[in-house]
Amino acid sequence: MSAADKLLNYVTFDTQSDENSETTPSTEKQRKLARALVKECQALGMDEVREKDGTVYATLEANTSEPRTPIGFVAHMDTASELSGANVKARRVERYDGGVIALNEQYAMDPATFPALKKVVGDDLIVTDGTTLLGADDKAGIAIIMQALEEIIRDDAPHGRIAVAFTPDEEIGRGVDHFDLSLFPVEYAYTVDGDRIDAVDYETFNAAQATVSIQGTSIHPGDAKDRMVNAALLAVEFASMLPEDQTPAKTEGREGFYHLVSMEGECESATLTYILREHDAEKFEKQIETIERVRDTLNEKYGDRIEVAVRRQYANMKDYMKGDMRAVERARKAIEKAGLEPVSIAVRGGTDGAMLTQRGLICPNLGTGSYNHHGRFEFASVQQMDRMVRIVRDIVEGE
């Protein structure tokens, strides 16, 4: 099998996570893919294969007496909540000609709208049928790691200890909440969870989720003067008091944002859910202060009706690397060997690696050759996935 074949198999598993669940993993269906990956790792002859708290761990012990740095690779099994990941009907587009790709009668991908397509002209693509997401985020990462392991074992390529981990619940910010570092005995690792394959990224957002709960007073509208307090209107007022130029639709690069993820409300009560993102730690703290200041202003105006709960999700991994660039430099050499010019981008998102780095395991991020994640326009390049398999092999074998 190839990495593309593995991806087509993995996307048949519905592994969508659920931020409203309090279980670990957040959905039991993620364990179905976990069990399949345990069997695959065992069939390859890997060591210490197990599933714990929804995470799959496996190691491949060194096959050479030469001193080599133990390294690891991580990818997540769950898919995003923006669109269903069930009943995925993926198909191949052979030798993409650079034109519009019709997904179904309603949806099509035009390179004018989706510029990532311009990077893969001539490649074979894996696309959706327009009714679901693909799940290449991050099943392409799993496929690349598993294919690289299969080839390393097949070719008896010299290597030090390799550890792999496949995590649940990354999309809801809980991917490594229960990660057992004692089962992952490496000096540093890589998440394979990005898009472009020339990138090795080690700077992410600082991230938090803010839940704004508003309590109103519901009175019959015919007798409500000076008595009704409409929680839904307070929610609108709260949203209007945040910086209107700091939303995802109006920011790029290193610019942070307040993203209103959901808004639910009626006269009696309302809830706003925001995600806060900022690369700079000081600006990130000011975002939290702004949310709390808006709360205080409206509570003074209307009485104590608004509560804000902030849950910090992950931090900018660069701040925790403390200048240790060994993992980054090793990946850059492998990318160069593949004939590419390595780049490092300030990621407008986060990975399991951000939280692992915060816990002391440096874990920069690599690409997968898949693009347009979290929606029906997601696709993967077969050729870029193959090149990424080679890059992973060269990271392992290149020391």
Closest CA to 276 of 319, 315, 327, 305: 315
Distances in Å between the Cα of 49 and the Cα atoms of 15, 243, 303 are 21, 49, 56
* E strands, 237-361, in order: 257-265, 269-278, 306-314
Active site (catalytic) residues: 78, 170
Distance CA 353, CA 334 (A): 19
CB atoms within 10 A of CB 65: 7
19: left (phi over 0), alpha (psi -120 to 50) or beta: alpha
At 147, which helix (H) or strand (E)?
helix 136-155
The whole-angstrom distance between residue 329's C-alpha and the CA centroid of its chain comes to: 23
Distance CA 189, CA 72 (A): 4
What is the rounded distance in angstroms from the CA atom of residue 180 to the CA atom of residue 17?
20
- Report the length, in residues, of the chain: 399
Closest of 25, 16, 26, 131 to residue 80, by C-alpha: 16
Tokens of 210: 């803010």
State the angle between helix axes of 382-397 and 326-337 in degrees (0 to 180), rounded to the nearest 10: 130
